[in-house]
């Protein structure tokens, strides 16, 4: 995992269950299916040398419960009523996740009461007046090939009491929430209210973040698609930079706190010369600053491609102090700042140049998933259904070391996954671009 390690205990990784599973799973009627038992665990840390140094027996290590169908389930499928909601910003694969969840419920378990709530958590609150959508295989047919979310989405806090009021009125016993860290924090509040009322309602998260910054999962769904779409913007920037004397192609990509898209797209394209991410602070001027390095590049090769993540360089600007609907600090526009500072610096240095600035953010967010993400979305949706039917709750489903696992919502709230400047991803960026490890104002 490309991040500083987060301290967790084996106890924190335990998955909460609503009760004892006593009902035979209908999955057992399918030939060749192997059930997963709760005792099957995936080690958090898979480095043998590190495990040996800790001197702790394997069974005492921090591990994650494997996802998949259980032999006994908690809910009677004939009595289950399900809610599905998508929240936060758009991301490739949202519709594919909705569809796979519906198909898993309908075809594998025979659930016939599935409802889609419109426009995020707003959909549960009566005063907004949003319709509830009956979902079935015919309704979601073809959704896997569509970008965006057919259920709509929204950002911002909603009262968990009002949300649970709606769940009670509609007798919803399983709620699937698809969203990022803000959505999961909201889901934790819903779980707390469900518990306070003594309800037997499971809440399962399917983590969505185009920034790939949710803890304890290898990769978010849609990330591969987003990185691939970002490469197209970098290709255009490269063409533009080479089409002018001292041409600079500047591309701003998503990445509020984590530079995974910027790094991954730059490696895939490999003609990028500078990558600036939130995890690695930088200075613009001074002997070791970014702008002098860019000037040297132009003097040497007469063109350059620069990629910057949206959350990079925030210390170079005055923070507004404002908070967005998701509870995050309002970012200043590093792309516009860089564009203007590059133009001004090169002009003052007597260098004639052409700077082309590209911000493809919304083009990347709204594209349909590629084949890799389509498969991943299908598997996540099915495994979320298996977890819910087994009565598991307050958890998300994700992939760790190549296997789908269950992760408690509470541990994902410990922080964000970020690029670790001391690990292979950033090292590969440095080796590919040839840029300095740090841009600072000291030699």
The structure tokens listed for 249 are 């192609």
Model pLDDT, residue 1: 45
Nearest CA-CA partner of 266 in 293, 313, 304: 304
With tokens 């600072």, the residue in question is 440
What domains appear along the chain, each with residue ranges and CATH number? 11-220+369-412 (3.40.50.450), 224-366+422-433 (3.40.50.460)
Nearest CA-CA partner of 265 in 429, 26, 28: 429
For residue 40, the SS3 value is coil
Instruction: List, in sequence order, every residue forming a beta bridge with 117; answer none if it has no partner.
Output: 85, 132
Distance from chain centroid for Cα 17: 25
What is the distance between the alpha carbons of residues 81 and 66, in angstroms, rounded to a whole number? 25
Annotation says 211 is catalytic:
yes
Instruction: List, in sequence order, every residue forming a beta bridge with 146; answer none if it has no partner.
Output: none
Model pLDDT, residue 159: 97
Contact present, 180 and 209 (Cβ < 8 Å):
yes
- Provide the whole-model pTM: 0.93
The backbone region for 428, taken as left when phi is positive above 0, alpha when psi lies in -120 to 50, beta otherwise, is alpha
Instruction: List, in sequence order, every residue forming a beta bridge with 303; answer none if it has no partner.
Output: 247
With tokens 């920037």, the residue in question is 237
220-246 in b/e burial notation, b at 16+ Cβ within 10 A? Answer: bbbbbbbbbbbbebbbbbbebbeebeb
- pLDDT 10s digit of each residue in the chain, 443 long? 454 567 889 999 999 999 999 999 998 766 678 899 999 999 998 776 555 545 555 666 899 999 999 999 999 999 999 999 999 999 999 999 999 999 999 999 999 999 999 999 999 999 999 999 999 999 999 999 999 999 999 998 999 999 999 999 999 999 999 999 999 999 999 999 999 999 999 999 999 999 999 999 999 999 999 999 999 999 999 999 999 999 999 999 999 999 999 999 999 999 999 999 999 999 999 989 999 999 999 999 999 999 999 999 999 998 776 766 666 777 899 999 999 999 999 999 999 999 999 999 889 999 999 999 999 999 999 999 999 999 999 999 999 999 999 999 999 988 899 999 999 999 999 999 999 988 986 54
Nearest CA-CA partner of 400 in 264, 233, 255, 216: 216
What is the distance between the alpha carbons of residues 239 and 305, in angstroms, rounded to a whole number? 9
What is the distance between the alpha carbons of residues 384 and 151, in angstroms, rounded to a whole number? 18
The structure tokens listed for 378 are 């299908």
The structure tokens listed for 115 are 């409802």
Distance from chain centroid for Cα 294: 32
With tokens 């040497």, the residue in question is 300
For residue 79, the SS3 value is helix
Model pLDDT, residue 325: 63
Pseudo-torsion of CA 274, 276, 277, 279, nearest 10°?
100
The values of phi and psi at residue 379, to 5°, are -70, -40
Catalytic residue among 181, 211, 213, 271: 211
What is the distance between the alpha carbons of residues 367 and 377, in angstroms, rounded to a whole number? 15
The structure tokens listed for 160 are 């968990």
Work out the number of other CB atoms within 10 angstroms of the CB of residue 341: 16
């Amino acid at each position: 995992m490309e991040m500083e390690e987060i301290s967790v205990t084996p106890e924190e990784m335990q998955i909460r269950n609503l009760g004892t599973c006593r009902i035979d799973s209908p999955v057992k009627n399918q030939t060749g299916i192997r059930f997963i038992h709760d005792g099957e665990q995936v080690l958090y840390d898979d480095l043998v040398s590190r495990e040996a140094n800790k001197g702790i027996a394997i069974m005492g290590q921090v591990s994650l419960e494997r996802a998949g169908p259980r032999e006994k389930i908690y809910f009677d499928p004939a009595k289950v009523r399900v809610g599905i909601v998508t929240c936060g910003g758009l991301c490739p694969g949202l519709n594919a996740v909705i569809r796979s969840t519906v198909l898993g419920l309908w075809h594998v378990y025979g659930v016939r009461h599935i409802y889609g709530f419109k426009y995020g958590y707003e959909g549960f609150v009566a005063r907004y007046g949003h319709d509830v959508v009956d979902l079935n295989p015919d309704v979601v047919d073809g959704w896997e090939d569509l970008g965006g979310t057919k259920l709509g989405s929204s950002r911002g806090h909603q009262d968990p009491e009002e949300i649970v009021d709606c769940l009670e009125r509609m007798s919803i016993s399983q709620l699937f929430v698809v969203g990022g860290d803000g959505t999961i924090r909201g889901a934790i509040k819903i779980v707390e209210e469900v518990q306070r009322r003594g309800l037997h309602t499971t809440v399962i998260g399917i983590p969505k973040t185009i920034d790939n910054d949710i803890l304890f999962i290898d990769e978010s769904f849609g990330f591969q698609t987003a990185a691939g779409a970002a490469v197209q913007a970098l290709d255009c920037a490269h063409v533009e930079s080479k089409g002018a004397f001292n041409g600079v192609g500047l591309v701003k990509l998503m990445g509020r706190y984590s530079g995974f898209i910027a790094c991954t797209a730059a490696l895939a394209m490999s003609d990028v010369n500078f990558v600036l991410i939130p995890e690695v602070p930088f200075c613009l001027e001074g002997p070791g600053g970014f702008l002098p390095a860019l000037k040297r590049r132009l003097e040497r090769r007469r063109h350059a491609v620069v990629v910057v993540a949206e959350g990079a360089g925030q210390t170079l600007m005055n923070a507004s102090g404002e908070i967005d609907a998701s509870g995050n600090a309002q970012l200043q526009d590093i792309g516009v700042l860089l564009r203007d500072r590059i133009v001004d610096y090169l002009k003052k240095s007597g260098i004639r140049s052409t700077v082309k600035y590209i911000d493809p953010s919304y083009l990347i967010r709204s594209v349909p998933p590629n084949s890799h993400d389509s498969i991943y979305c299908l598997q996540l949706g099915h495994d979320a259904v298996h977890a819910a039917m087994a009565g598991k709750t307050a958890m998300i489903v994700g992939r760790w070391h190549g296997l789908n696992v269950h992760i408690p919502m509470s541990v994902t709230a410990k922080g964000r996954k970020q690029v670790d400047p001391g690990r292979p991803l950033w090292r590969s960026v440095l080796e590919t671009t040839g840029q300095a490890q740090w841009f600072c104002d000291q030699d």
